[in-house]
Every structure is written in C-alpha cells, then in structure tokens.
C-alpha cells in the first residue's frame, strides 16, 4: 500500500471505498459492476494492508464528499470479500469470482490464463492446434481473447475465429484433459468447473473488441471460406451504428458513463443521424458545448476514432448485461 495519499492508484482507491462501506452496501455496489471490474476491485481489496485513516478520509472525500475517521479496512478481508460477493452475485456465481480474487495468483491450468498478459497467453498457445487455441480463447473474456488473437500469426486468426464460431461446447472430459495439460505446463494444479464455450456469439464478441483493420481482414477471410457463417457472425455483432436503435432513456444512461473526450473522438467518425441522436439526449447547453468542441477538433486518426467507438460500445454492453438498458439492432435478443 502506498504511504502517501496522493499516490494511491485508482483500483486501490476503489478498494478502500468498498471496504469502508460495509458488507450490505458494498454488495449493492458490486451488483452494478461487470465481472472484470468486480475482479479488479476485489483483487485490490484482498491485498489491502496498513490503510491509514488519512487515506480512508481522502478516498471517501473523493467518492462521496464525506470523511470517516474510523476504518476497519484490512481486518478479516477474506471473509468480508466472500460475504459481499455472495451478497452481490449469489452462491453459484460468486464461487468462481471468489477463487479468482483470493487465489488468483495461484490459479493453474485454463484459469491461470485469465490472469496472464495477452502476449504471454499467445506465446503459450501459438504452437497448439487451432482447435485447442479456439477452446482456450472461448474460455477467456472477449476483450482479453481479442488481444491474444492480435498476437497470433495473421493466417491463424481466421482459422481460430471460424472454429470458435462453429464450436458448440466442449465435453467436460476434453476440457479437463486440456486443463491437465496446461497444469503440467505450469507445474501446478487447478480445480475445474464444467463449462460450455464457443459459438457464433463468442466469435462476434471477440471481433467487437478488435481494431477495425484486424476485424475487417478476419471478416473478409471468413466470408471467402464460409459466407453463411460470416453473415451469422455479423448479425451477432453490435456496432456503433446500432446505438441509433437504443431508446432515449438508454442513450442518456450510456452518456452518463462516457468521458467527453472519448465521445468527441467517436463522433468524428459518425454520421449526422448519430450525432443528432447523441445531441438530442443531452441538455441544450451540453449539446452546444459538444458541437463547438467537435467543430474545433482537428483531424484525428481513424484508429483513434474506432477505439473511442469501441469504448462506448463496451459501456453500452456492460449496462445491458446489468439490465440497465436494452440494446437494439444486431443480436438484440442476445442482450435484452
């Protein structure tokens, strides 16, 4: 833990705040966070120690404007984390998250890959059969899998994504065998849970997190091999233009979670209909300021625009998964 208040990283600040709320309130907050966010904050919570009152006061002021002089942060943290995660997610869902948070550094086999840098995961699987790579990437979070895919050879990407799209689940025995192979590779052991992985939706989710150039290249290659499969994947993808189909209340919810800088970049590559959709869901003053900022913004790189748009899409999907909004457009019934 950092000794000075000013140097406390964001994840640790969030962890201090959560540990200061009390179990019931912390559980309510966690219900509105995505799995990756829960893991990040939970991991920081599990490693908190020697938290001073000054640090707690500073963090509480940042989050809520209220200074608390007393704190039980760091006392019995493992039990505390288990209780609030179970309160937020229920016994079944919380189990895997608790394991990843409290024993994440000791995770083995397939589970350990979730904690590895994307390039490191690519190094582990690059010499495996494409079907093995497809199973591994299906087991990861979509944004993580997308980064791993970018570190694989270009000719491998299309093959792997097509296999993911046509994967209809993996027999538990096969998944266990793969886990055991990875356990031996990492010289450890891990408990496995049965899991259905793969499918068109998984492939679409991974593509959603890739940059525009890589996404277009893979989509084109898949179309050449199997046009019908490419169409099915495209139908499940959620792209920036689909935001037009979200109702006004949903759009306003999204905008509350989007940074102005990202929104300006995203709108540089948007058509007039999308811009009006955004402006109509702001206050007149905010919309006027956004128009001025957009007009004053000089030329920007296409890659930066695509990145900003994908960030906004990630916010939209997170809110949809939490049940806060409904997404229209492609793959609608997958999100609602």
Q: If you write DSSP's letter for every residue of 62-128 in order, what string do you get?
A: HHHS---S---TTTTHHHHHHHHHHHHHHHHHHHHHHHHHHSGGG--HHHHHTTS-HHHHHHHHTTS
| 113 Cβ contact list (under 8 Å, min separation 6) | 121, 124, 136, 139, 140, 182
For the packed helices 212-225 and 227-236, what is the interaxial angle rounded to 10 degrees? 140
Give 28's pLDDT tier (boundaries 50, 70, 90). confident
pLDDT score recorded for residue 197:
59
- Taking the CA atoms of the chain, what radius of gyration do you get in angstroms? 22
Q: What share of the chain is helix, strand, coil (3-state, %, to 5)?
A: 70, 0, 30
In contact, 274 and 244? CB cutoff 8 Å: yes
What is the overall mean pLDDT for the chain? Answer: 75
Q: Hey, what domains does the chain have and what are their CATH numbers? A: 5-106 (1.10.220), 112-236 (1.10.220.30), 240-335 (1.10.220.30)
pLDDT score recorded for residue 8:
67
In contact, 164 and 196? CB cutoff 8 Å: no
- For residues 64 and 57, what is the distance between their CA atoms, to the nearest angstrom? 10
CB atoms < 10 A from the CB of 79, how many? 10
- For residues 148 and 117, what is the distance between their CA atoms, to the nearest angstrom? 8
- For residues 41 and 315, what is the distance between their CA atoms, to the nearest angstrom? 17
- For residues 180 and 188, what is the distance between their CA atoms, to the nearest angstrom? 9
Handedness of CA 224, 225, 228, 232 (dihedral sign): negative
Instruction: Read off the pLDDT of each residue in 41-66 and give the average, rounded to a whole number.
Output: 71
In contact, 265 and 304? CB cutoff 8 Å: yes
| 154 Cβ contact list (under 8 Å, min separation 6) | 217
pTM: 0.45
The per-type count for the chain, helices as H runs and strands as E runs, is 20, 0
| pLDDT at 155 exceeding the cut of 60 | yes
Q: Which position has the higher pLDDT, 263 or 55?
A: 263
CA distances 98 to 8, 38, 56, 83, 282, Å, are 24, 10, 24, 10, 39
In contact, 325 and 250? CB cutoff 8 Å: yes
| pLDDT at 317 exceeding the cut of 50 | yes
Give 195's pLDDT tier (boundaries 50, 70, 90). very low
In contact, 299 and 264? CB cutoff 8 Å: no
| pLDDT at 150 exceeding the cut of 70 | yes
């Amino acid at each position: 833990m950092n000794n000075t208040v000013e140097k406390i990283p964001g994840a640790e600040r969030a962890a201090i705040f959560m540990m200061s709320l009390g179990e019931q309130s912390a559980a309510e907050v966690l219900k509105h966070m995505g799995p990756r966010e829960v893991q990040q904050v939970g991991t920081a919570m599990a490693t908190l120690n020697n938290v001073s009152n000054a640090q707690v006061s500073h963090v509480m002021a940042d989050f809520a404007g209220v200074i608390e002089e007393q704190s039980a942060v760091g006392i019995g943290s493992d039990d505390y984390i288990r209780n609030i995660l179970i309160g937020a997610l229920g016994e079944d869902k919380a189990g895997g998250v608790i394991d990843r948070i409290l024993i994440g550094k000791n995770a083995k086999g397939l589970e350990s890959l979730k904690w590895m840098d994307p390039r490191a995961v690519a190094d582990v699987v690059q010499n495996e059969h494409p079907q093995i790579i497809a199973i591994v990437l299906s087991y990861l979070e979509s944004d993580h899998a997308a980064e791993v895919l970018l570190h694989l050879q270009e000719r491998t990407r299309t093959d792997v994504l097509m296999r993911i799209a046509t994967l209809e689940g993996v027999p538990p025995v096969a998944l266990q065998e793969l886990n055991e192979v990875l356990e031996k590779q990492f010289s450890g052991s891990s408990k496995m849970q049965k899991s259905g992985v793969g499918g068109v939706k998984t492939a679409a989710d991974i593509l959603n997190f890739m940059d525009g150039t890589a996404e277009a290249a893979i989509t084109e290659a898949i179309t050449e091999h199997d046009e019908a499969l490419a169409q099915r994947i495209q139908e499940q993808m959620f792209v920036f233009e689909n935001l037009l189909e979200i109702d006004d209340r949903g759009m306003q919810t999204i905008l509350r979670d989007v940074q102005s800088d990202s929104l300006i970049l995203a709108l540089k590559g948007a058509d007039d209909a999308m811009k009006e959709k955004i402006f109509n869901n702001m206050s007149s003053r905010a919309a006027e300021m956004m128009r001025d900022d957009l007009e004053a913004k000089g030329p920007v790189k296409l890659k930066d625009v695509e990145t900003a748009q994908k960030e906004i899409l990630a916010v939209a999907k997170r809110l949809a998964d939490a049940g806060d909004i409904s997404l229209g457009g492609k793959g609608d019934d997958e999100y609602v």
